Structure 1
């Protein structure tokens, strides 16, 4: 029995769904890529099984495939995401009248413990940032990179949010920043004094890079285009290496550190939720576990009955 490549009918439905997410729901490229990867995996499996129509795939069939992928080493976390992608895709097909039911609706993947985010402590963040100030006054790109780092830590931005910033997003003397978050949800975040100074220093250099098509993008590349997420990730990695950091630093680690440090000082979970732009407070609650870890470590050191005997 010969197996053809994924049937164009299967592919056309997925392509239409991805377009729907891109243009109507305005999902990020990262999210679109995740959906595409999950649905491509299912399409390939359907092809192996000589299935060429989404309508004929049953819940039993999907359960069998999940078992195969699990045996192949796909993690529970990846399986959960794949089920979520399938569920959403079939909801779309239902709305289009392309299928009669959603076979992914009741699927379950094995439960996984959620890993705690990795954060830097306040001293590590200060070392990372303070290490760069010497060169920022004279080196335009160092000035830009320092402003990026300061903004990440000052305002807890996501990578895509920071990349998309325009100069006019600032208000009130650069002390407030309007951010466009996930699903085009807008929020206003405060900007700390160090970040304000760093951004204003960069703006004094920015005109060196402006080209006709630069627009009002806050952060520009050497070529005068809006800086890419990949460039930011690479520059932050380089910064951390120069500062002798013991761990690989990435943008989300600075967002995690921001959230953890604010929560540790204030104990105000709702405010941290607002600052991070989380739609569900359960997402923010992961930082309370980090905070408890810190408290537990303090307790172990300080409590007379908790101290370990030498």
Structure 2
């Protein structure tokens, strides 16, 4: 076993909260990590006392383990693990998906889940393949966790996803984005928009930016993307002009002054700003789409766009090649012009 200070997803330490890492089944068994205490704080001595209690209970806990339990039976333990090891937004997504999943699969042990059950689940919402696929993905994750922790055997079949074609992004025009930002008077909120619009950062990456990950002299920041992967992004000049006078050594770069925590959403802000500007509504993620499309148009370098966006797979980035049809038409015209000159 080991005890270490508990860290949030952004590596922020929480004083008085501890992470206890141990292997209930011995040295070669699966690991388990507990957050202690669940609420409030305690001293290291109290955490060590709890660790000793865990040691004493390991044998009895293993003896009580119910092999092949119903999914509902094991969910509390799974959710405890998931909350500790996954981002808050992902955890909320799982909790939402469980409402539908438990209605169909909750009372079943993994050994009794059949392909027919999967098909019936898909038929509940035939017109919403994306949401259904997300639910099935989370079901697969729960089953994988149960298998890894010896609560179940793997399914004898693969959970097939519903056919789904990701729609082509339709980013707002740069002029519309600028018009909307003029209607946003708060400098910090403007800076958040500019980060997504010019650096192509995701919403969570932007609002979760911390001063300890910012190098103003170099004009660079480290952001944590999906899968807890860090990447460097350039800070736009307009952002530097806004944040430099407020430089601090730690804490959030763009805190909500009401809560002193990151902002939750800008959807209402964007909707009101677009209405005042007299333009169609813009979604916050549309700014990232605009950044990717413009960068591809300016450079033609798909790998560069992949790096800027933080995509693990370049196939995810190729969707922007379908957006940039104007550049493709221009290239086709140049080819025709070139052929015409050769024929002469």
Q: TM-score, normalised by structure 2?
A: 0.69
User: Does residue 43 of structure 1 match 2:102?
Assistant: yes
| Residue in structure 1 matched with residue 327 of structure 2 by the alignment | 295
Q: How far does residue 303 in structure 1 lie from its aligned partner after superposition? A: 11
1:52 and 1:110 map into 2 onto residues whose CA distance is 22
**Which residue does the alignment assign to 2:21?**
none
In structure 2, the CA distance between the partners of 1:238 and 1:300, relative to structure 1 (3 Å rule), is farther
Can you give the 5+ residue segments of structure 1 that lack an aligned partner in the other structure? 1-7, 137-141, 208-214, 306-310
Residues 59, 99 of structure 1: alpha-carbon distance in 2 compared, 3 angstrom cutoff:
farther
Equivalence for 1:217 = 252
Q: Secondary structure at the match of 2:168?
A: coil
The number of residues matched between the two structures is 268
Deviation for aligned residue 1:149: 1.2
- Given the alignment, which residue of 157, 163, 172 partners 2:207? 163
Instruction: Say if 1:28 and 1:269 are closer, same or farther in 2 by CA, change over 3 A.
Output: farther
Is the 8 Å Cα contact of residues 91 and 102 (structure 1) preserved in structure 2?
Answer: no
Shift of 1:101: 2.0
Distance 1:109 1:52, change over 3 A: closer
CA distance in 1, matches of 2:299, 2:70: 54
Q: Distance in 1 between matches of 2:72 and 2:127?
A: 23
Aligned partners of 2:216 and 2:244 also within 8 Å: no
CA distance in 2, matches of 1:98, 1:224: 41
1:186 correspondence with 2:225: no
Assess if the C-alpha contact under 8 Å between 1:166 and 1:217 holds in 2.
Answer: yes
Show structure 1 runs of 4+ deviating over 6 A: 299-305
Distance 2:261 2:333 in 1: 48
1:62 and 2:121 aligned: no
Deviation at 1:302, TM superposition (A): 10
Distance 1:10 1:189 in 2: 42
Contact 1:181 1:187 in 2 (8 A): yes
The question of 1:87 aligning with 2:137 is answered: no
For the 8 Å contact 2:194–2:238, the answer to whether it is kept is yes
Label 1:112 to 1:187 Cα distance change in 2 as closer, same or farther (>3 A).
Answer: same
Task: Work out which of the two has the higher radius of gyration on C-alpha atoms and give 1 or 2.
Answer: 2
- Cα distance between partner residues in 2 of 1:42 and 1:94: 18
CA distance in 2, matches of 1:287, 1:106: 31
Q: How far apart, CA to CA, are the structure 1 residues paired with 2:252 and 2:121?
A: 45
2:87 aligned with 1:22: no
Query: Which of 170, 173, 194 is the equivalent residue of 1:118?
Result: 170
RMSD over aligned Cα atoms: 2.9
Counterparts in 2 of 1:167 and 1:99: CA distance versus 1, 3 Å: same
Matched with 1:149 is 193
Q: Give the Cα–Cα distance (whole angstroms) in 2 for the partners of residues 153 and 44 of structure 1.
A: 41
Contact 2:180 2:273 in 1 (8 A): yes
SS at match of 2:162: coil
CA deviation vs aligned residue, 1:105-128 (integer Å, no higher than 9, x gap): 523233222101221222223333
Q: 1:100 aligns with which of 153, 160, 184?
A: 153
Structure-to-structure mapping, 1:1-20, within 5 angstroms: 9-20=70-81
In 2, the alpha carbon distance for the partners of 1:15 and 1:162 equals 32
- Looking at structure 2, the residues matched to 282 and 66 of structure 1 have their Cα atoms a distance apart, in angstroms, of 26
Kindly state the Cα deviation for residue 179 of structure 1 after the two structures are TM-superposed. 0.5
- Do the aligned partners of residues 12 and 156 (structure 1) sit closer, same or farther apart at CA in structure 2, a change above 3 Å counting? farther
CA distance in 1, matches of 2:315, 2:334: 31
- Mapped partners of 1:173, 1:259: distance in 2: 25
How far 1:75 moved relative to its partner?
Answer: 1.5
Cα deviation for residue 180 of structure 1 reads 1.2
Question: 1:122, 1:156 → 2: CA distance?
Answer: 13
